[in-house]
Amino acid sequence: MTFFQSIKSSVAGVAQRAHRLGKYSDTDTPDYDEDVTPTSAIDTSKLPYEAWWSKDYPTTTYIDEKTGLLTSRTEGVDSIDDDATVYTLYEDRARRMPDDPLFSYKKDGQWVTMTAAETLADIRRVAKGLIHIGLEKGDAIAFMCHTSYEWDVFDAAALAVGAVIATVYDTDSAEQIRNIANNSDARAVVVETRDMAAKCEGIEEDCPTVRRVGCFENGDLDALRAYGDAIDDATLDARIASIHKTDLCSIVYTSGSTAAPKGVEMTHEHYLQLAYNLQAFIPDIVNDPDGSILMFLPQAHTFARAINYGVVGAQMHVYIATGIKTLLSDLQVARPTALIVVPRVLEKVYNAASQKAGRGPKGLVFASAVETARKYMRQVAANGHASPVTAAHRAMYEQIVYSQLKSALGGRIKWLVCGGAPLDPELMTFYRGAGIPVYEGYGLTETTAPCAFAPLGTPFRAGSVGVAFPGFSVRLSEEGEIQLKGRSVFKRYHKNDEATASSFTKDGWYATGDLGRLDVDGFLYITGRKKDLIITAGGKNVSPTPIEEAIQRCSIVSHALVLGDKRPFISALITLDTDVLGDWLEANGLNRSMPMEEACTNGAVRAEVQKYVDLANEGVSRAESVRKFIIVPEDFTQENGLMTASMKVIRPKVLRRYSRLLDTQMYVPRK
């Protein structure tokens, strides 16, 4: 049996640690060969430097004369018509390729395909239905739905008539739905399933602007189609003509929103810039008449939504996966030439293959194939080619390991983009060495997803997220913070002037809070984060502070530090309050003098802490919830260097102090 024959059944159940290749760990540096060194500091004497990674759009790296800051810019599409909107992408697709397939998705267990003309007709029916029920231009709709054909049609219809989609993750809690509905002044809340609708019960009383709640599973999408038959084309076309590229079309909430969500205001132009520049920068991929893409990431996240608009506006056939559990079987149907993923997906595929190989002879072969792929790419990165010996070793593993991994991904992948969270460079090196064209990108909700990525043909640079996306300028502040400018950069957070003001520099650049470096070719590397915002391996953004505060309401808890950056799930390190603990133990019939080490593992103590962890989890989605916690015997104090004079926990120091505990107990590798 091959290593990959059982991936399909294994991936769905894999819920283990983030990938660690070889001896790599969070505290290690990559084990480069002696003749290979990481990219050196930039030589400014070579600047300005112009690189043509795309035929028509050069990337120029230079020192800005006004600021003296290292800057890189990629040229992009110059202008967009004022009357162009997201709806225009669907309309143009139907005009160019009316009878060609646009969307394929599963319905009642069978794959169904809709042509571009059929999709546009469906969008128009739903748009007319929205007009019929009284939706006005500028009205907000809080929308909660899995990635699906219904998501695409409803979203396009709502934007066509000038509505503003306020995105809600399909895993968001009832509290988060209400926060978003209130912040966006939503006139309606539209959900996909009855379970989602149950979370919205009574929302009209909690959210004064909400007048209507719709549920697709209850037939409300079909009802809109029926209502649409009462509206003529002229009425719809007049509404469509009144919408312009600068109109607000969406408020996208940064995942992890709590009582004070940050909603990023997006216009039609933001998404159109992405769509048109994607076509201009990688035409061989998105305009391949035989090209396809499999969509499965949540479209409430800007990354998947923006890419979807981009490929709709090009020529690709879009397959929509049923979900992550069916991903590998769906890959065999879609056989995509392009795929967008988050790191956790690549980790799951690797982990499943590694587990199947086991620790016997097959495991040794697999481990050797992994190391050979990594060595091959390190040599290519350093010298432009691998040594004959390494190339021969790599060829030996092509049929028995690498080709089967390619087959598991559909067999036709030309461009696999990983975003949403940092990808382990060693994992990237393995996939590239195995012949899987994985490229890492970098982007934020505030930049309409990609602000840096690597188009086909760019040289491999381990750890790089690519070059500036067309239309973007990237610069590094004196502190090394990544700052961005471009037409796809947002202008404001919805009803949050304070957060907006603090997000931009005095000269108008968006300050990302991420730290990085640039090389002379314009390749960007992410080196750290200024902020404490956690990005899990699955790409979920989590704000730790509200969760920590909720746990710390437990009387016996001194500190709670929520963790999970680049990890598969959220966890917490917790310390106990020695001033309170003794009394609590005695009141509960336990030894008030119990040693701290014993108290940390005592079942009654852990049960008390668990109550507050559960309460904290009630207000967040599952992806943000604390799945595991460890109580440590030593508190975070100024004396041990884990707290500042202003009584703030120093997160990096705590992570370093407990790195072994986290790697061996919190995130336990499964054998």
Non-local CB neighbours of 135 within 8 Å, separated by 6+ positions: 141, 158, 161, 163, 187, 188
Running DSSP on this structure, what letter comes out for residue 670?
P
For residues 345-361, average pLDDT = 74
Long-range contact set of residues 640-649: C-beta below 8 Å, sequence gap at least 24: 649/559, 649/561
The C-alpha angle with vertex 634 and arms to 631 and 636, in degrees rounded to 5, equals 100
Q: What are phi and psi of 65, to 5 degrees?
A: -65, -35
347 burial type by CB count under 10 A (0-12 exposed, 13-18 middle, 19+ buried): buried
Rounded-to-integer distance, Cα 191 and Cα 172, Å: 12
For residues 112-139, average pLDDT = 98
Q: Which of 371, 378, 520, 434 has the alpha carbon at shortest distance from 38?
A: 378
Strand order in the sheet with 263-267: 212-215, 186-191, 140-144, 164-168, 248-253, 263-267
Positive or negative torsion for Cα 53, 54, 55, 56: negative
**What crossing angle do the helices spanning 544-551 and 603-618 adopt, rounded to 10°?**
140
pLDDT at 255: 54
What SS3 string covers 350-377?
HHHHHHHHCCCHHHHHHHHHHHHHHHHH
Amino acid type, 174: A
pLDDT at 92: 97
Rounded-to-integer distance, Cα 561 and Cα 574, Å: 6
**What crossing angle do the helices spanning 233-241 and 116-132 adopt, rounded to 10°?**
90
Helix (H) or strand (E) holding 620: none
DSSP characters for 523-568? -EEEEEESS--EE-TT--EE-HHHHHHHHTTSTTEEEEEEE-TTSS
Side-chain-side CA neighbours of 505 within 13 Å: the count stands at: 17
Count the residues in the chain. 671
Running DSSP on this structure, what letter comes out for residue 402?
I
The Cβ of residue 635 has, within 10 Å, a number of other Cβ atoms equal to 16
Strand order in the sheet with 467-468: 442-444, 449-453, 467-468
- Contact status, residue 474 vs residue 488, Cβ threshold 8 Å: no
Amino acid type, 123: I
Non-local CB neighbours of 66 within 8 Å, separated by 6+ positions: none
pLDDT at 355: 62
pLDDT of 3 strictly over 50: no
| Average predicted confidence (pLDDT) for the chain | 87
pLDDT at 359: 62
pLDDT at 645: 43
pLDDT at 286: 94
Non-local CB neighbours of 321 within 8 Å, separated by 6+ positions: 147, 294, 295, 296, 327, 330, 334
Each residue of 281-306: pLDDT tens digit?
888 899 999 999 999 988 988 989 99
pLDDT of 648 strictly over 50: yes
pLDDT at 344: 67
Q: Look at the block and give the residue holding tokens 């930049």.
A: 447
What is the token pair recorded at 198? 């149950």
For residues 448-469, average pLDDT = 89
CATH domain 543-666 topology = GMP Synthetase; Chain A, domain 3 (3.30.300)
Centroid of chain to Cα 186? 25
pLDDT at 532: 67
Domain residue ranges in the chain: 543-666
- Contact status, residue 659 vs residue 600, Cβ threshold 8 Å: no
Q: What are phi and psi of 516, to 5 degrees?
A: -165, -175
pLDDT at 17: 26
The C-alpha angle with vertex 376 and arms to 375 and 382, in degrees rounded to 5, equals 90
pLDDT at 272: 97
pLDDT at 535: 83
pLDDT at 356: 73
Rounded-to-integer distance, Cα 474 and Cα 441, Å: 14
pLDDT at 6: 38
| Listed range (126-140, 229-243, 519-533) with the worst mean pLDDT | 519-533
pLDDT of 12 strictly over 50: no
pLDDT of 16 strictly over 60: no
Q: Which of 488, 510, 453 has the alpha carbon at shortest distance from 271?
A: 488
* 2 vs 248 pLDDT, higher one: 248
- The CA-atom distances, in angstroms, between 172 and each of 72, 141, 145 are 37, 16, 11
The Cβ of residue 542 has, within 10 Å, a number of other Cβ atoms equal to 24
Each residue of 382-420: pLDDT tens digit?
898 999 999 999 999 998 899 988 998 999 999 999 887
What is the token pair recorded at 236? 């719809």
| Listed range (37-41, 103-107, 192-196, 414-418) with the worst mean pLDDT | 37-41
Rounded-to-integer distance, Cα 79 and Cα 93, Å: 20
Each residue of 298-327: pLDDT tens digit?
898 898 999 999 999 999 999 999 887 788
- Contact status, residue 295 vs residue 304, Cβ threshold 8 Å: yes
pLDDT of 472 strictly over 90: yes
Non-local CB neighbours of 284 within 8 Å, separated by 6+ positions: 456
**In which band, very low, low, confident or very high, does the pLDDT at 503 lie, cut at 50, 70 and 90?**
very high
